[in-house]
């Protein structure tokens, strides 16, 4: 295995708030890592750090320069133009000619089940459709590493399954996945490894089966125990 991302002793501060404390994370090619923890535990900050969007107060971030990285945000940014244009523009910005970009965009939208709304204004799409649009955009960019921030939060069960199926397709295509989730069922379905955060610290980092076999994680806090027990969706 070779590392695509290596984060060492990372601290992040937002004024008086320390959002991450001495976080170490080595991500290898092909891993499917779930970041879990209560609201405010630092999941989004960690994803943004991994994507190079947040400066470190201390520590270092090493990324494989040859690996293409994409991030799907919790509330994806969509432009006030058609769904097809939203995807095509991302390709065009990477140097694909417009006509080819449009064709690929339509293909990607079909793949995520959005063929019928491809010409509709992206801002008028539902939350679930916008999530899938963001995934189609990411799919076109063929990332080696895909970061997703709570990709199915606030989606209905059907849309949730569709997004999960897409994430599985990325994984099958060899994409390394790192995703924040509150849904432990989803974590069990998709992750190979679980990283548990509490108040900006990594309290556990283990293969998925080992993580849920809490007997082997005696160092976990009471909060972690409640978190893991309390959610089964
Ligand atoms: N841009 C920001 N400015 C100030 N504080 C922030 C900012 N982003 C996150 N935080 C704080 O950092 C901590 C971690 O937040 P976040 O990474 O969003 O957690 P999570 O995604 O697990 O809910 C929280 O205390 C949050 O309020
Ligand atoms: Mg978050």
The predicted-structure confidence for 168-199, as pLDDT tens digits, reads as follows 999 999 999 999 999 999 999 999 999 999 99
What is the rounded CA–CA span in Å between residue 156 and residue 111? 19
Long-range contacts (CB closer than 8 Å, 24 or more residues apart) made by 53-56:
54/12, 55/12, 56/10, 56/11, 56/12
Encode pLDDT of 118-149 as tens digits: 999 999 999 889 989 999 999 888 999 999 99
Q: What is the pLDDT of residue 228?
A: 77
Three-class SS of residue 84? Answer: helix
DSSP state of 37: -
Q: What is the pLDDT of residue 195?
A: 97
Nearest CA to ligand 1 atom 27: 40
| 85 alpha carbon, distance to own chain's centre | 23
Confidence of residue 167 (pLDDT cuts 50, 70, 90): very high
Residue environment code for 94-129, b if the CB has 16+ CB neighbours within 10 A, otherwise e: eebeeeebbebbbebbebbbbeebbeeebeebeebb
Three-class SS of residue 142? Answer: coil
Given a cut of 90, whether residue 158 has pLDDT beyond it is no
Nearest CA to ligand 1 atom 3: 14
Given a cut of 90, whether residue 2 has pLDDT beyond it is no
CB 6 within 8 A of CB 166: no
- Is the CB of 20 within 6 Å of ligand 1? no
Report all structural domains of the chain as residue ranges with CATH numbers, in order of start.
Answer: 3-68+143-230 (3.40.50.300)
What is the rounded CA–CA span in Å between residue 142 and residue 22? 31
Nearest CA to ligand 1 atom 24: 40
Q: Which of 17, 27, 25, 26 is nearest to 57 (CA)?
A: 17
- Is the CB of 98 within 6 Å of ligand 1? no
State which of 10, 14, 36 you would mutate to test the pocket of ligand 1, scoring each by most atoms of that ligand within 8 A of its C-beta. 14
Ligand nearest to the CA of 151: 2
- Is the CB of 42 within 6 Å of ligand 1? yes
What is the rounded CA–CA span in Å between residue 212 and residue 184? 10
Encode pLDDT of 194-214 as tens digits: 999 999 999 999 999 999 887
What is the rounded CA–CA span in Å between residue 112 and residue 147? 18
Encode pLDDT of 5-58 as tens digits: 999 999 999 999 999 999 999 999 999 999 999 999 999 999 999 999 999 999
Strand partners, 205: 195
Instruction: Name residue, tokens 């008086």.
Output: 16
DSSP state of 9: E
What is the rounded CA–CA span in Å between residue 34 and residue 55? 22
Q: What is the pLDDT of residue 106?
A: 97
Instruction: Name residue, tokens 């990411």.
Output: 138
Strand partners, 6: 26, 62
Given a cut of 90, whether residue 230 has pLDDT beyond it is no
Q: What is the pLDDT of residue 18?
A: 98
Confidence of residue 231 (pLDDT cuts 50, 70, 90): low
């Amino acid at each position: 295995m070779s590392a695509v991302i290596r984060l060492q002793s990372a601290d992040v501060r937002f004024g008086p708030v320390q959002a991450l404390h001495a976080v170490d994370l080595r991500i290898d090619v092909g891993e499917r890592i779930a970041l879990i923890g209560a609201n405010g535990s630092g999941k989004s900050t960690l994803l943004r750090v991994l994507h190079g969007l947040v400066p470190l107060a201390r520590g270092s971030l090493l990324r494989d320069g040859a690996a293409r990285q994409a991030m799907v945000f919790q509330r994806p940014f969509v432009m006030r133009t058609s769904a097809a244009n939203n995807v095509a523009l991302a390709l065009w910005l990477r140097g694909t000619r417009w006509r080819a970009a449009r064709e690929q965009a339509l293909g990607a939208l079909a793949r995520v089940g959005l063929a019928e709304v491809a010409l509709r204004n992206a801002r008028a799409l539902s939350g679930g459709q916008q999530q899938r649009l963001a995934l189609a955009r990411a799919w076109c960019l063929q990332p080696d590493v895909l970061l997703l921030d709570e990709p199915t939060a606030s989606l209905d069960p059907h849309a949730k399954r569709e997004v999960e199926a897409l994430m599985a397709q990325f994984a099958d295509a060899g994409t390394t996945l790192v995703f924040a989730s509150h849904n432990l069922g989803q974590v069990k379905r998709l992750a190979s490894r679980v990283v548990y955060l509490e108040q900006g610290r990594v309290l556990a980092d283990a293969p998925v089966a080992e993580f849920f076999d809490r007997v082997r994680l005696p160092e976990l806090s009471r909060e972690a125990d409640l978190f893991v027990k309390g959610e089964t969706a």
